[in-house]
Structure 1
Amino acid sequence: MSNKEKAMNGGKWITISTAISTVFQFVQVAILARLLEPDDFGIVSVSNLIIGFFQIFSNLGFSNSIIYKQESDRKVLSTLYLLNLMVGALIFVIVYVSTPYIITFYDEPKLEGVVKLAAYYFLIVYFGQLYMFLLEKELRFRSVATVDILGTVIGSAVTIALAFNGFAELSMIIGSLVGQTVRTILQVMLGWPLFKPMLSFNLREAGEHLRFGMYNLGDGLLGFIQSNSDNIFIGGMLGVKLLGYYTIAYQLAIFPITKLNPIILQVAYPILAKMKEDTAGLKNSYLKILDFISYCNLPLLAGLFVTAESVVPLFYGPGWEQTIDLIRIFVFVGFFTCLSHPLFTLAFTKGKPNLLFYLNLGTLVVKIPLVYVLGTYWSVTGIAMAFLLATLLNLIANFVIVHMLVGDFMGVFLRNIAKPLIFCLIMVGAVTLYKIFVGYEGLANTIAEVVLGGSIYGGLTLAYKISLSEIKTYRQAIL
């Protein structure tokens, strides 16, 4: 099977996994928005912030180094496996004992139970994580998809059941832990034929992975701070209720980014890693990834921008109208972010994670003052605008780095992205006219807006981008 066929087959399974997971997660949030208060979402957001921060230190970039180096040495893998388990246990203790300081900073007593419970994530996840890396390295995306589907379905079911029974914010934490436990068990079962740990712990033998991971760790740390400085500011200065509104708006707006882009990038990285010396091939692949991401993400983001007034009350119920303006800002954040994502694959393929470190460092220097100043004067709306400006500057620097890695690409990129941008403008204009002359409230109008916008974008794409015969060819190739 060629690399192209492997990519298409892998994309098929990750697409199936993503589609199923997206449906369950979207239904989960829609149900919880009717059962829980904004404060509950804010509290869980703080917990996720803390877990996300410590997770940076426990991963150490091993996923990228294992794929980049195509590592198969059992002794080296055993060292990495044991190191992850030890670091995970250490982080569990640190999170658990630091809970009183976290409560003091956010002035929210409910955080004690949530944070201490969430800390158990580190005692679960790292038993199976290395096996997931190996499954991806071997392009076994069917197994990766199976793990994700079952973990998401079971975790979502537990979360919803607990929310209905009055567990409030704890329902999301418990459901997440149950889902991760299922994933870990399946990862070990499916990955066991690829790697059986042995009692070998030699940091010198794993030195190259550790050195590769240092920049990745620095990049992850800076990336976390610059990506979450807005959440830290809101939670600490404006309170968990406003953080709840902000979190719901952000999650809805970046939903296409977090679900669609990994389908492409997760499959692309292990394949591109096998052709890392072919700069011309990497450039061509990068442009194809950007083109595909643009056509997939832009209509979803544009559609959300123009239908936000209809979608929010319909899916989240009353009381969440404050998120509409934030969603419209985050749509542009999502657009800039989706164009930035392929650099990560390219940088790791070329073995230059240090470039990502410097990129995040520069973004951090810009973003924190913006968040503080705009947040002080315009509350959560100002913080969202600061996020947008920082993301735009990050994208500009992102493209400069890509030019350094693969050469000039901007002309082709601009020609490629012109069509989806024009298609989206036509779609937004048509839906806006519908809202003006017909209305936007209720299920019927929401469905009509989605059908109208989707038909226009789909029709224009078939007419000017890809034909039905090409779609049939791709379909036959992946089935």
Structure 2
Amino acid sequence: MSRRDLQAAARPRKNCLRSRVNSLDRDSKSRAATNILITGGAQAWKLSAGFVLTIFSTRNLAPSDFGLLAMSATAATFLGLIKDLGVGQAIIQRPEIAKGQIDALFWLSVLASAASALALTLSAYPLSLFYDDPRLQQLIVAIAGLSFIAGLSTVPAALLARESRFKSLAVLDVAATTASIVAGIVAVMILRNYWALYLSTLVLTLVSTAGIWTCSGYRPGYPHLDGETRHMARFGLHVSGFNLVNYFSRNADNILIGKFRGGDELGLYDRAYKLLLFPIVQLHNPIGQVIVPLLSRLRLDKKEYLSTYDDALSMVMLVCQPGIVFAILLSEPLFRIVLGEHWVGAAPIFSWLGVAGLIQVATATAAWLFLSQGRGREYFRLGVWTALINVTSFVVGLPWGALGVAMAYTLVNCAIVLPLYATLIGRNGPVTTRRLIETTGPHWIGCLVAAAITRISTISLLDGNSLAGLATLLALAYASYLVAISFFAQKRALARRLLRYGYRRAAPQI
């Protein structure tokens, strides 16, 4: 048989293989949508339950208690970011991985967790001197133990995510969160101090770790070190490096305010920041957990990759931004009604940070792109530059207190960080800077329209000083946002795809 005949015979097999790959990608996208819904449901419960504990504890604890927790959390979480060296993300990313390689990464993460816990324990006394608060010493030592326990579940949790066992992870999240919230509320009523929230975290960590190990079935063995293992470790180090510098930039404000402005002002700033950041994190985490492996498989299919990312980015902005616009404009009545009169001082801080939150809803998805495209080194460099910019803004704003820090941080995010992200994302890979502008542009217009309608309504029509008025204004913000973006063809096409997907999901049940 001639070479031409062989090529002709092979062509149908190649076309068949390509068809199978495309079919698998479509199936993967369908499963990803289902997994996002499952994981999102668990995150919604975590968000709701966590909000209940936040409100209850805020009403029953003093601002200084939250300031003390913020002081300890800054060091604890910073060191905790190196407890797994990014090996969980490395395991999820790899198309194939051997048992010995998994074992090697597990023992590496255990050693890193132990080193992190030891470093945190040794830092307890110096930190108590730095903040001039002896209560910190015992609290930080207790948190160090939690850090080590939490690190033990990194690899089995990554294996559950790699195997797309998101239903099991969701059930575990709900169970651990429920136990934690119940324990936290009881502890707040009995102890009436910061140890109540520590006990809530202790219950969450123990229940979650035990459940993950039970469900995964993973048992560590003898490690196998080879070139691929070292490559995964390097990738994990880049991810871990980004997490470290990013966390430092996000918590340097707490350090500076706590040191130079005191625990009461830090407590106000911390509540404003956490109430804004918590919903954004709870939304991005489950989507990222599902979307990064999917984008990794679609990396060579530019059209599908762009479609998947555009849809995910649009949905995240749609869910978050109208609510943030509403909270920015009505921060004072929100804090007064929900948290109490003594927390109204945090409302201006929240409003300024909310503007930065509108931007971070979009920029946080950059991690999906850098990780799925294997751009670990660029991801780390972006984190370094962002950290330097943000910390500089904190120092500039510090003379004007917590509000000055929030203002400087927001202005820098608008003027420098957002363009920096857009430029570096578009430098390599299928998502260009122009594509980002085309995808996000309608949403920025939607924010302006929602802000204008909400503001006009508060002045002339509705009272924002009651729960009924706030609920109406929130619905109006979302409605006006949706109307604004519906004028763009790409957003109408997304709505049609979502409706078709919902119909296909519901059809078998009819």
Taking structure 2 as the reference length, the TM-score comes to: 0.87
Equivalent in 288, 306, 321 of residue 298 of structure 1: 321
Judge conservation of contact 2:61–2:192 (CA < 8 Å) in 1: no
Distance 1:165 1:201, change over 3 A: farther
CA deviation map 1:432-458 (0-9, x unaligned) = 233223432122322232233334345
Identity of aligned residues (%): 22
Distance 1:361 1:418, change over 3 A: closer
Q: State how far apart, in whole Å, the 2-side matches of 1:84 and 1:77 are.
A: 11
1:41 counterpart residue number: 66
Q: State how far apart, in whole Å, the 1-side matches of 2:505 and 2:155 are.
A: 28
Judge conservation of contact 1:67–1:273 (CA < 8 Å) in 2: no
Larger radius of gyration: 2
Equivalent in 394, 400, 406 of residue 384 of structure 1: 406
CA deviation map 1:78-136 (0-9, x unaligned) = 12212222322232222223211010111112212221211111231122221111111
Output aligned runs, 1:5-404, within 5 Å. 5-192=30-217, 195-200=218-223, 202=225, 206-376=229-399, 378-392=400-414, 393-404=416-427
2:18 counterpart residue number: none
Q: State how far apart, in whole Å, the 2-side matches of 1:196 and 1:114 are.
A: 32
Distance 1:406 1:203, change over 3 A: closer
Q: State how far apart, in whole Å, the 1-side matches of 2:403 and 2:216 are.
A: 45
- Measured after TM superposition, the shift of residue 409 of structure 1 is 3.3
- Measured after TM superposition, the shift of residue 459 of structure 1 is 5.3
- Measured after TM superposition, the shift of residue 408 of structure 1 is 6.3
Distance 1:330 1:72, change over 3 A: same
- Measured after TM superposition, the shift of residue 462 of structure 1 is 6.5
- Measured after TM superposition, the shift of residue 262 of structure 1 is 2.1
Judge conservation of contact 1:129–1:187 (CA < 8 Å) in 2: no
Judge conservation of contact 1:431–1:453 (CA < 8 Å) in 2: yes
Mean CA deviation greater in 31-40 or 310-319: 310-319
- Measured after TM superposition, the shift of residue 196 of structure 1 is 2.4
2:19 counterpart residue number: none
- Measured after TM superposition, the shift of residue 70 of structure 1 is 3.1
Matched, 1:405 2:428: yes
CA deviation map 1:353-399 (0-9, x unaligned) = 111211122222323232112212x1111111232234332222211
Distance 1:342 1:450, change over 3 A: closer
Judge conservation of contact 1:246–1:380 (CA < 8 Å) in 2: yes
- How many pairs align? 476
2:17 counterpart residue number: none
CA deviation map 1:208-228 (0-9, x unaligned) = 222222322322222122222
Paired AA for residue 251 in structure 2 = N
- Measured after TM superposition, the shift of residue 290 of structure 1 is 2.3
Judge conservation of contact 1:230–1:387 (CA < 8 Å) in 2: no
Say which structure, 1 or 2, has more relative contact order (CA 8 Å, 6+ apart).
Answer: 1
CA deviation map 1:214-271 (0-9, x unaligned) = 3223222221222221111111221121111111101122233112222322210011
CA deviation map 1:176-212 (0-9, x unaligned) = 11101111111111111xx321143648773222222
* 1:174 aligned counterpart, secondary structure: helix
Q: State how far apart, in whole Å, the 2-side matches of 1:78 and 1:469 are.
A: 45
- Measured after TM superposition, the shift of residue 308 of structure 1 is 1.4
Mean CA deviation greater in 42-51 or 445-454: 445-454
* 1:406 aligned counterpart, secondary structure: coil
Judge conservation of contact 1:283–1:409 (CA < 8 Å) in 2: no
Distance 1:408 1:16, change over 3 A: closer
Q: State how far apart, in whole Å, the 2-side matches of 1:337 and 1:216 are.
A: 19
Q: State how far apart, in whole Å, the 1-side matches of 2:191 and 2:304 are.
A: 55
